[in-house]
Amino acid sequence: MVCIKPSLRLVKAINGGTALPSDFVLTLTGADGIHDNGVNYASGAEPEVKPGVTYRLTEAPGQVPDYFEEGVACVDDSDQSAVPHPVTLQGNQSVTCTLTNRLDEIYEVVAEACINNAPLVGYTVTTAAGSVNEVDITWIKNDGSDEVVETLLDAPSEGTLLWPGAKIVDGVTVAWPGWLCDENGSNCTQVDDGLVPTMQLRFDINPTKTLIVNYPPATEGCQPTPTFESIPSNNPLALLLLTLMLLATGWYFRPANLGRF
């Protein structure tokens, strides 16, 4: 007498990153007297199963950082037709169920722009897992020092940032990165502060993404640098201004969400 049994193969698939199927443990649950409370298996396992029993393939979350479960797909091995999951095996049916994980990457859209003589960066952040509500944003110098200039915690996932070193007072831009200006922005001297011409912009949710942003260029009607005649850096007046500005406080402006542009 030939005993006819169904078979079920458990497979782990990975999309993105460097994780391997062996980094994950799969769990099979079904009321067959063996898997009632769930039994753990490695990818490629073919556990003993019974016909007429409904089985569910799952995994414990967070086994590998930055990966999320995309779902489970089952196919009949005889013709590769889709089989619903949870799966109920019939007769000598042979089925393969695959649980897929994807690396939770950050997708960002960034645009630099000059508006009202202010250097701005607009951004939108999502992830492979879907939309997000908040993101931590960090400005980092791109001059080789990797010095953190400013960090914005729990910023909205979409908005506009003022470039570090720029300052707006009553709607008027009075300070710019790469320049030291008086409080009215009427007298400036050029300096090397590491804030131009590029910066690193890092987005942190759970995964992290760092990219290089370019200082916005001038456009017709918009100049993201002082528009008056600057004071030469070797001018005694410039040296005095530089000393006074360094003794002052608060000339760095904290980037803030200014809304979309």
In this structure, is residue 238 part of a structural domain?
yes
> For 221-234, what is the mean pLDDT?
65
Q: Which residue has the higher pLDDT, 252 or 168?
A: 168
pLDDT of residue 240 exceeding 70, the answer is no
Let me know whether 88 and 155 are in one domain.
no
For residue 102, give the amino acid letter: R
Let me know whether 63 and 128 are in one domain.
no
Residues spanned by the domain of 13: 7-103
Average pLDDT, the chain: 86
Let me know whether 46 and 91 are in one domain.
yes
Q: Could you read off the pLDDT of 85-132 as tens digits, one per residue?
A: 999 999 999 999 999 999 998 988 999 999 999 999 999 999 988 888
For residue 8, give the amino acid letter: L
Let me know whether 19 and 74 are in one domain.
yes
Q: Could you read off the pLDDT of 148-180 as tens digits, one per residue?
A: 999 999 999 999 999 999 999 998 999 999 999
Q: Coil, strand, or helix at residue 60?
A: coil
Q: Coil, strand, or helix at residue 84?
A: coil
For the domain that residue 184 is a member of, what is the CATH number? 2.60.40.10
Q: How far apart are CA 224 and CA 226, in angstroms?
A: 7
Predicted confidence band at 234 (pLDDT cuts at 50, 70, 90)?
very low
First to last CA, the chain: 76
Let me know whether 164 and 226 are in one domain.
yes
For the domain that residue 87 is a member of, what is the CATH number? 2.60.40
Which among 259, 261, 260, 256 has a CA at the least distance from the CA of 139?
A: 256
Q: How far apart are CA 218 and CA 224, in angstroms?
A: 6
* pLDDT score for 45: 98
In this structure, is residue 261 part of a structural domain?
no
pTM over 0.75: no
Q: Coil, strand, or helix at residue 237?
A: helix
In this structure, is residue 253 part of a structural domain?
no
**Could you say which of 103, 124, 149 is where a domain stops?**
103
**Could you say which of 73, 103, 133 is where a domain stops?**
103
Let me know whether 190 and 76 are in one domain.
no
pLDDT of residue 239 exceeding 50, the answer is no
pLDDT of residue 248 exceeding 90, the answer is no
* pLDDT score for 206: 76
Let me know whether 68 and 44 are in one domain.
yes
Let me know whether 65 and 76 are in one domain.
yes
Let me know whether 135 and 115 are in one domain.
yes
**Could you say which of 103, 126, 154 is where a domain stops?**
103
**Torsion sign across C-alpha atoms 250, 252, 258, 261:** positive
Q: Which residue has the higher pLDDT, 238 or 55?
A: 55
Structural domains of the chain, count: 2
For residue 230, give the amino acid letter: S
